[in-house]
Amino acid sequence: MPQFPTDILIAGQWRRGSGEPVDTIDPATGRVLATVHSATAEEVAEAAEAGARAMAEPAWRNLLPHERARVLHRIAALTEEAADELSALQTADTGKTLAETRALALSAAGTFRYIAAALETAEDALTPPRGAYLTMSVHEPIGVVGAINPWNSPIASDAQKIAPALAAGNAVLLKPAAWTPLVSLALGRLTTRALDEFGLPTALLSVLPGSGRVVGDALVRHPLVARVGFTGGTSTGRSIAAVAAQKLVPASLELGGKSPTIVRADADVEQALAGVMFGVFSSSGQSCIAGSRLFVDRGIYDSFVGELVARVRKLRVGPGTDPATQVGPLVHHDHRDSVAAYVDLARSEGARVLCGGTAPEGELHRDGAYYLPTVLDGLPNSSRTCQEEIFGPVLVALPFDDEDDLVRQANDSVYGLACGIWTRDARAAWRLARRIDAGTVWINTYKQFSAATPFSGWKESGLGTEKGRDAIRAYQRQKSLYWGTSDAPLPWAH
Ligand code: NAD
């Protein structure tokens, strides 16, 4: 069993938060793992002020990019070394399988390494002058950054914000979700250890768990917070964007989705079956990019969906610590109840429940927040079940007649996060990939990620981009320098 942290990281100090206590539970058993006392608005202010002071310290301010990259490499190495411990911690806190949480810890390390490499190789542009001067565009840190994350993949989404924000020269206030603070606190410990080893101010990172209403809101509103990086639900994103707009500070928003997965009649059926199941049921469907709307060519609809349902029934649902488990519990019993309520809504809308539609029975599942992988059909794309994000192991299948019908239905959504296309026809894949409204399209694969490839949501799935080389620039401000080269005075010299 890993050690469960209970102290929080405020302005470089580990101490008990002064806010409300929140029990974090193991959703496989309902057992309380740790009670973490939340931060308060005053502690958010303390962290913001200390972060601003730390940013101004010469040790950090004057650190050259290749030196800052070494710090990021050290965080990556510490994260990699601790991968097993981080994985056990995250599985206990979120219910995800150990295979997935280990991959997430390694992906966080990979993000720090990639951003370090991007930092070392970033260049500023000398722009063509239009007068007697040299012109140059440089990039400065933006200030104290607020990073707010949801509970579904904490360490990976933490790294996607902390790495570029530190690379850019900022200080970071990280607010993990109230249900899952443990792995973010552990990453905080590794990051401050690396900062300390390099003699840098540890107040460059604070980790401030607590509710969105108290801690998240205080963080976004604090005058020193000059940029917000947010991942979470669309309605929360909208209210954060409203506050940021009032303050006139940038906010990037990675929000919800209801992504279409398309199976054409010419698809490799074996690949498509495995891909569709993995795309929606891995992480128990608690993934912004889950392929939760399945569009199948009407000509193969009955046979494909029939075989899919037969295989979904065989998925192994159990604790994330069992290597045989494919679908773990949901993050929390309250969330399981909200998923169950959505399936009840689907029934009331007239859905056929082809499999699942209930919590599993038996001793193993009795106390956990489990829900069976569920396949529904018989609903139009306009139904609430097809339009709203359920964020659980629920797939809704729909037939399509031709490409125009498919594109119309797939794009008829407020979301535009991701899409999967299963086909052997390269030209059809190209046409479809270009016509679908989505920030990411996978062709004959799904849920693959590279730190080097930009990630962004279209429509109500988000605003702004994470990952890729430009991730660092998104946490900087541009400054243009004009450097006079003429000995002649400007016209008003006399
Ligand atoms: P949420 O919006 O309820 O919460 C996300 C975070 O925001 C939490 O830390 C929460 O405490 C905080 N928060 C809530 N209200 C706030 C406020 N008023 N001010 C500041 N902070 C506030 O989302 P959730 O239920 O934790 O996560 C699930 C959602 O996240 C889903 O909609 C999912 O699609 C989305 N998500 C998106 C991506 C992406 O990259 N697009 C990735 C993962 C999850």
Q: How far is the CA of 231 from the centre of ligand 1 (A)?
A: 5
> Is the shortest distance between the CB of 254 and ligand 1 below 6 Å?
yes
Specify the ligand 1 atom closest to the Cα of 239.
18
Could you read off the pLDDT of 373-426 as tens digits, one per residue? 999 999 999 999 999 999 999 999 999 999 999 999 999 999 999 999 999 999
Q: Which of 288, 293, 336, 466 to mutate to test the pocket of ligand 1 (most atoms within 8 A of CB)?
A: 288
Q: What is the pLDDT confidence band of residue 494, given thresholds at 50, 70 and 90?
A: low
Assess whether 43 carries a catalytic annotation.
no
Q: Could you tell me if the CB of 152 is within 6 A of ligand 1?
A: yes
**Secondary structure class of 272 (helix, strand, coil):** helix
pLDDT, average across residues 463-477: 96
Sequence spans of domains, the chain: 8-255+461-480, 260-443
Q: Is the pLDDT of residue 493 over 70?
A: no
Confidence of residue 492 (pLDDT cuts 50, 70, 90): confident
Pocket probe mutation, ligand 1, options 20, 94, 145, 152, max atoms within 8 Å of Cβ? 152
- Does the Cβ of 90 fall within 6 Å of ligand 1? no
Closest-lying ligand 1 atom to the alpha carbon of residue 389: 32
Average pLDDT over residues 112-116: 98
CA of 449 to the centre of ligand 1 (A): 20
Reference 461, options 415, 418, 394; nearest CA is 415
- Long-range CB contacts (within 8 A, 24+) of 430-438: 431/403, 432/262, 432/403, 432/406, 432/407, 435/407, 435/411, 436/260, 436/407, 436/410, 436/411, 437/411, 437/413, 438/259
Q: Active-site residue among 43, 46, 161, 386?
A: 161
Sign of CA dihedral 174, 76, 2, 278: positive
Q: Cβ distance 438 to 458 under 8 Å? A: yes
CATH number corresponding to 8-255+461-480: 3.40.605.10
254 is catalytic: yes
Q: Is the pLDDT of residue 1 over 80?
A: no
Which DSSP string do the residues of 436-480 spell out, in sequence order?
A: S--SEEEES--S---TTS-B--EETTEES-BSSGGGTGGGEEEEE
256 Cα to the center of ligand 1, angstroms: 9
Mean pLDDT of 482-493: 90
pLDDT of residue 300: 98
Q: DSSP assignment, residue 365? A: G
Beta carbon of 383 within 6 Å of any ligand 1 atom = no
288 has catalytic annotation? yes
Which pLDDT belongs to residue 196?
98
Mean pLDDT of 312-334: 98
Mean pLDDT of 213-222: 98
Binned at pLDDT 50, 70 and 90, residue 3 comes out as: confident
Q: What is the mean pLDDT of residues 46-69?
A: 98
Whole-number Å distance between alpha carbons of 55 and 141 = 9
Q: Is the pLDDT of residue 457 over 90?
A: yes
* Annotated catalytic residue within 43, 46, 254, 460: 254
Yes or no: say if 149 and 158 are a contact pair by the CB < 8 Å rule: yes
Summarize pLDDT for 283-320 with one digit per residue, the tens.
999 999 999 999 999 999 999 999 999 999 999 999 99
Probe residue for ligand 1, chosen from 148, 238, 388, 419 as the CB with the greatest number of ligand atoms within 8 Å: 148
Question: Using CA atoms, how far apart are residues 321 and 29, in angstroms rounded to an integer?
Answer: 11
Which atom of ligand 1 is least distant from the CA of 153? 43
Arithmetic mean of pLDDT, 432-452: 98
Confidence of residue 156 (pLDDT cuts 50, 70, 90): very high
The proportion of the chain whose per-residue pLDDT surpasses 90, expressed as a percent, equals 98
Q: Name the residue among 383, 440, 2 with its Cα closest to residue 183.
A: 2
Please tell me the distance between residue 253's alpha carbon and the centre of ligand 1 in angstroms.
Answer: 10
Give the nearest ligand 1 atom to 178 CA.
11
Section 232-256 average pLDDT: 98
Is residue 491 scored above 90 in pLDDT? no
Q: How far is the CA of 234 from the centre of ligand 1 (A)?
A: 8
**Is there a catalytic annotation at residue 161?**
yes
| For ligand 1, atom 16: residue with the closest CA | 212
- Report how far ligand 1's centroid is from the alpha carbon of 198 (Å): 33
Q: Pairing between strand 374-377 and 205-207?
A: unpaired
Q: Is the pLDDT of residue 435 over 90?
A: yes
- Classify 4 as helix, strand or coil: coil
CA distance 279 to 95: 18
Q: At what angle do helices 269-281 and 301-313 cross, to 10 degrees?
A: 50
Give the global pTM: 0.97
Distance 22 CA to ligand 1 centre (A): 17
CA dihedral 256, 461, 468, 292 (to 10 degrees): 50
Choose among 306, 370, 270, 273: nearest CA to 28. Answer: 370
Identify residue 108 by its one-letter amino acid code: A
User: Of the residues 183, 184, 211, 231, which should be mutated to test ligand 1's pocket, given the most ligand atoms within 8 Å of the CB?
Assistant: 231
The minimum-distance atom of ligand 1 relative to the CA of 235 is 2
Ligand 1 atom nearest residue 217's Cα = 19
C-alpha 150 to ligand 1 mean position (Å): 4
Helix axes 65-81, 98-121, angle to 10 degrees: 170
Does CATH place domain 260-443 in 3.40.710.10? no
Percent residues over pLDDT 70 in the chain? 99
| CB 178 near ligand 1, within 6 Å | yes
